[in-house]
Amino acid sequence: MYEVNPEFKQDVRYEHGKKVLYVQVNKAIYGMIESALLWYELYVTVLLKDGFELNEYDKCVANKVINGKQYTIGWYVEHNIIGHVEDEV
């Protein structure tokens, strides 16, 4: 944090030999995190109800077999990627 904003450097303390910086977090930041989590939970719930399975290594990727071929949906923030060998799917 202090490398991005040197103004915070004076507030860095050492605790047990490690650098520590305490800051006050605005409620708006918490709200943004909470809304992202709620959106993720809704997105995953809808996909699971539609028969998708979450990838065990990347929880922002879901797969489903349609017409004998894998259908993949991946998402990150507001970007989505969807793929299947059949265009109409």
pLDDT digits (tens, 9 = 90+) for 6-61: 888 899 999 999 999 888 777 777 677 788 888 899 999 999 999 999 999 999 99
What's the pLDDT score for residue 53?
97
- Going from N- to C-terminal start, the domains of the chain cover 6-83
53-54 and 18-20 beta bridge pairing: unpaired
Length of the chain: 89
What's the pLDDT score for residue 5?
83
What's the pLDDT score for residue 30?
66
pTM attached to this predicted model? 0.62
- C-beta of residue 50 within 8 angstroms of C-beta of residue 36: no
**Rounded CA gap, 17 and 56, in Å?**
37
What angle (nearest 5°) sits at the alpha carbon of residue 39, between those of residues 73 and 44? 40
For 55-81, write each residue's pLDDT tens digit. 999 999 999 999 999 999 999 877 899
CB-count exposure of residue 58 (10 Å: 0-12, 13-18, 19+): exposed
